[in-house]
Amino acid sequence: MFVGCIARQPAAAQADSDTTNRLTNTVSLSAVTVRAIAPERFLAGQKIQRIDSTTLLQFRFASLTDVLALNTPLAFKNYGPGQLATVSFRGTSANHTAVLWNGININQPNLGLTDFSTLPVAGFDRLAVQYGSASSAVGSDAVGGSILLGNSPSWQPGIRLTAGQQIASFRNNQTQLGAQYASPLGANWKLSGKSLIYRSQLNNTYPYTERQNYFLEPSTTAQRGLSQDLYFLHRNGRQVSVHVWLTDNDLIQSPQDTLARERTQTQSARWLATYEADRTTIRLGWIRDVLDYAKGNINNPSHTQTDRFISRVEREFAFKSTQNYQLTLRAGGEWSHYWTRTDGYGGLLIEEDRADLYALFRFQTTRWLLSANVRQAFVTRFNPPLTPSLGAEYQLLQHKRFTLTGKGAISRSFRVPTLNERYWVGLGNPDLLPEDGLNLEAGLATAGALSEHLNLMAELTAYRNRVNNWTYWNPAVNYHVENLQLVVARGLEVTTGLTYRQTAWKAGIRISYAFTRSSQERAYDTYSQDILGKQLVYVPMHSGTLNAYIQRGQTRLSVQMQANSRRYTTFDNSQFFKGTLLTNVLLEHTVNWRFMPVRIQGQVNNVFDTLVLGVKRNALPGRNGAINLIINFPSHIQ
Amino acid sequence: MKKQWTKSMVVGLVALSVWNCKTSDPEPTPYESGVFILNAGNFSSNNGSVSFLSRTSQTVATNIFQTANPSLVLSGGVQGYTEVNGKGLILVDNNTAGQDKVEIVDYATFKSLTTLKSPDIENPRQVIQVGPNKAYISCWDVSGDFSAGTFYKDPGYIAVVDLNTRTVTKKIPAVKGVENMVVAGTEVFVGSNAYSGSNTLMVIDLATDAVKERIDFGSTPEPIALDANNKLWIKAGKDLVRVNPATRFVEQRLTFSATPGSVVISTDKQAFYYTLSGKTYQISINATNATGNVLIPRSFSTLGVDPQTKRIYGTQNPLLYTQAGYVIRYESSGALVDSVKAEIAPSGFYFR
pLDDT at A21 over 80: no
Tell me chain A's radius of gyration from C-alpha atoms: 24
**Helix or strand or coil: residue B68?**
helix
Confidence at residue B9, expressed as pLDDT on a 0 to 100 scale? 54
Interface with chain A: mutation pick from B75, B118, B150, B152, highest number of A CBs within 10 Å:
B75
CA distances to A263, B102, B133, B137, B140 from B168, rounded to whole Å, are 32, 10, 12, 10, 16
User: Is residue A457 over pLDDT 80?
Assistant: yes
Q: How much is the pLDDT for A12?
A: 34
Contact between chains at A215 and B322 (C-beta distance less than 8 A) = no
- Kindly state whether B319 is in contact with chain A, defined as any CB-CB distance less than 8 angstroms: yes
Burial class (CB in 10 A: 0-12, 13-18, 19+), B315: buried
A537 part of contact set with chain B, CB < 8 Å: yes
Residue from B37, B315, B322 to probe the interface with A (highest A Cβ count within 10 Å):
B322
Confidence class for position A400, pLDDT limits 50, 70, 90: confident
What is the nearest CA distance from B278 to chain A, expressed in angstroms? 16
pLDDT digits (tens, 9 = 90+) for B215-224: 999 999 999 9
Residue A32 has pLDDT above 60, yes or no: no
Residue pairs between chains A and B whose CB atoms are closer than 8 Å = 102
Chain A contact for B250 (CB, 8 A cutoff): no
- pLDDT at residue number A425: 87
Q: How far is B89 from chain A (nearest CA, A)?
A: 18
| pTM confidence score | 0.89
Instruction: Identify from A570, A578, A620 which residue to disrupt to test chain B contact, counting B C-beta atoms within 10 A and taking the largest count.
Output: A570
Name which of B133, B124, B38, B127 is nearest B89 in CA terms: B127
Average pLDDT along chain B: 92
pLDDT tens, A104-158? 999 999 999 999 999 999 999 999 999 999 999 999 999 999 999 999 999 999 9
Our CA-based measurement puts residue B71 at a distance from the nearest CA of chain A, in whole angstroms, of 7
Query: In this complex, is the C-beta atom of B44 within 8 Å of any C-beta atom belonging to chain A?
Result: yes
Cα distance between residue A333 and residue A356, in whole Å: 5
- pLDDT of the residue at A563: 97
Q: Cβ–Cβ of B143/A569 closer than 8 Å?
A: no
Are A471 and A443 a contacting pair, CB within 8 Å?
no
Measured between CA atoms, how close is B348 to chain A, in angstroms?
20
Phi, psi of B21 (to 5 degrees): -55, -45
Largest CA distance in chain B: 84
Measured between CA atoms, how close is B122 to chain A, in angstroms?
Answer: 11
- Dihedral sign for Cα B188, B191, B193, B198, please: positive
* Cα–Cα distance, A192 to A184 (Å, whole number): 9
- Is the minimum CB–CB distance between A320 and chain B shorter than 8 Å? no
The 10s digit of each residue's pLDDT in B249-269 is: 999 999 999 999 999 999 999
Share of chain B above pLDDT 70, in %: 92
B59 touches chain A (CB under 8 A): no
User: Average of pLDDT values for A400-421?
Assistant: 94
Mind listing the pLDDT tens digit for each residue in B106-128? 998 999 999 999 999 999 999 99
Contact A475 B320 (CB under 8 A): yes
Is-cis flag, bond preceding B155, omega within 30?
A: yes
Please indicate whether, in this complex, the C-beta atoms of A213 and B319 are within 8 angstroms of each other: no
**For A294, which residue in chain B has the nearest alpha carbon?**
B145
Residues of A in contact with B71 (CB under 8 A): 212-213
> Would you place residue B26 in the very low, low, confident or very high pLDDT band (cuts 50, 70, 90)?
low
Nearest CA in chain B to A536: B322
Select the residue of A215, A296, A537 nearest B99 (Cβ to Cβ): A215
Catalogue the E-assigned strands of A42-171: 48-51, 75-78, 85-88, 97-101, 104-105, 126-131, 145-150, 158-168
Q: Do A295 and B148 touch (CB under 8 A)?
A: yes
Range name among A426-435, B96-105, B170-179, B188-197 with the lowest pLDDT average: A426-435
Rounded distance between C-alpha atoms, residue A471 and residue A478, angstroms: 14
Contacts of A212 in chain B (CB under 8 A): 71
pLDDT score for A23: 32
- Which H helix or E strand runs over A23? helix A19-30
Say if the Cβ atoms of B96 and A215 lie within 8 Å. Answer: yes
Q: Residue A574 and residue B323: Cβ atoms within 8 Å?
A: yes
- The pLDDT confidence band at residue A35, using thresholds 50, 70 and 90, is low
Section B166-190 average pLDDT: 97
- Chain A positions touching B342 (Cβ under 8 A) are none
- State residue B41's pLDDT score: 95
A537: chain B residues, CB-CB within 8 Å = 322
Phi/psi of residue A91, each to 5°?
Answer: 75, 20
Q: ∠ CA(A399), CA(A400), CA(A405), 5° rounding?
A: 40
Task: Show residues of chain B in contact with A571, CB under 8 Å.
Answer: 320, 322-323
A297/B148 CB distance under 8 A: yes
Residue B16 CB partners (closer than 8 Å, separation 6+): none
Mean pLDDT, residues A200-229 taken together: 96
Distance between CA atoms of residues B138 and B91, nearest Å = 10
Contact B144, B123 (CB under 8 A): no
Residue B28: pLDDT band by 50, 70, 90 thresholds? low
pLDDT at A411: 96
- Contact indicator for B74, A214 with CB cutoff of 8 Å: no
Return the amino acid letter for B147.
S
CB-CB under 8 Å, A616 with B322:
no
Residues facing residue A581 across a β-bridge: A563
Report how far residue A472's alpha carbon sits from residue A522's, in angstroms, rounded to the nearest whole number: 12
Give the residue among A52, A245, A63, A61 at the shortest CA–CA distance from A164. Answer: A61
Cα of B113 to nearest chain A Cα, Å: 14
Enter the DSSP assignment of B132: T
**Under 8 Å between Cβ of A615 and A115:** no
Q: Any residues with CB less than 8 A from the CB of A200 and at least 6 apart, and which? A: A61, A120, A166, A172, A173, A174, A175, A221, A222, A223
Cα distance between residue A392 and residue A441, in whole Å: 11
Q: How far apart are CA B222 and CA B198, in angstroms?
A: 11
Report, in angstroms and rounded to the nearest whole number, the Rg of chain B calculated over CA atoms: 22
Map A427-462 to HEC letters: CCCCCCCCCEEEEEEEEEEEEEECCCCEEEEEEEEE
Give residue B22's pLDDT.
Answer: 47
- C-alpha angle A167/A171/A174, rounded to 5°? 40
CA distance A156 to A26: 12
Contacts (Cβ under 8 Å, ≥6 apart) of A24: A35, A152, A153, A154
On the question of pLDDT at A596 being above 90, the answer is: no
Residue A20's pLDDT is 32
Q: Within a 10 A sphere around the Cβ of A383, how many other Cβ atoms?
A: 9
Query: Which phi and psi angles does A423 have, rounded to 5°?
Result: -120, -5
User: CB of B91 within 8 A of CB of B78?
Assistant: yes
Residue B153 touches partner A, C-beta closer than 8 Å: yes
Before A634, cis peptide (omega within 30)?
no
Q: Considering only CB atoms, which chain B residues are within 8 Å of A254?
A: 96-98
Q: Residue B188: how many CA atoms within 13 Å on its side-chain side?
A: 28
Q: Do A296 and B145 touch (CB under 8 A)?
A: yes
B72 CB neighbours in chain A (<8 A) are 213
Mean pLDDT computed over A611-629 = 96
Q: Phi first, then psi: give them for residue A208, nearest 5 degrees.
A: -140, 155
Interchain contact A257–B (C-beta under 8 A): yes
Taking the Cβ of residue B316 and every Cβ of chain A, the question of whether any pair is shorter than 8 Å is answered with: no
d(CA A523, CA A527): 8
Task: Count CB-CB contacts under 10 A for residue B58.
Answer: 12
Contact B127, B135 (CB under 8 A): yes
Least Cα separation, residue A413 to chain B (angstroms) = 28
Which ipTM value was assigned to this complex?
A: 0.85
DSSP string for B44-65: TT-B-EEEEE-TT-SSPBP-HH
Side-chain-side CA neighbours of residue A513 (13 Å): 8
Counting Cα atoms < 13 Å in the Cβ hemisphere of A422 gives 21
The average confidence (pLDDT) of chain A is 90
Q: CB-based contact (8 Å) between B73 and chain A?
A: yes
- A256-307: per-residue pLDDT in tens? 998 899 999 999 999 999 999 989 999 999 999 999 999 988 888 999 999 9
What's the pLDDT score for residue A527?
A: 85
Asked if residue B273 has pLDDT above 80, the reply is yes
> How near does any CA of chain B get to the CA of A260, in Å?
5
Per-residue model confidence (pLDDT) at position B10: 55
Q: How far is CA A240 from CA A126, A191, B264, B291, in A?
A: 19, 10, 75, 80
pLDDT digits (tens, 9 = 90+) for B320-333: 888 999 999 999 99
Task: Check residue B144 and give its pLDDT.
Answer: 85
DSSP A325-381: -EEEEEEEEEEEEEEEEEGGGTS-EEEEEEEEEEEEEEEE-SSEEEEEEEEEEEETT
Is the distance from CB of B314 to CB of B296 less than 8 angstroms?
yes
Distance from CA of B99 to the nearest CA of A (A): 7
- CA A394 to CA A406: how far, in whole Å? 5
| Chain B positions in Cβ-Cβ contact with residue A575 (cut-off 8 Å) | 47, 343-344
Residue A287 is predicted with a pLDDT of 98
Residue of A611, A636, A605 lying closest to A623 (CA atoms): A605
Give the pLDDT confidence score for residue A3 in this predicted structure.
31
Task: Pick the more confident residue, A37 or B143.
Answer: B143
Average pLDDT over residues A426-451: 92
Instruction: Please name which of A210, A191, A288 lies closest in space to residue A247, comparing C-alpha atoms.
Output: A288
Calculate how close chain A gets to B253, using CA atoms only, in Å.
Answer: 34
Q: Is A149 helix (H, G, I), strand (E, B) or coil?
A: strand
Contact B324 A294 (CB under 8 A): no
Confidence of residue A36 (pLDDT cuts 50, 70, 90): low
Closest CA to B179 of B46, B300, B39, B79: B79
Which residue type sits at A230? L
pLDDT at A8: 35
> pLDDT value at position A5?
33
Residue A24: what pLDDT? 34
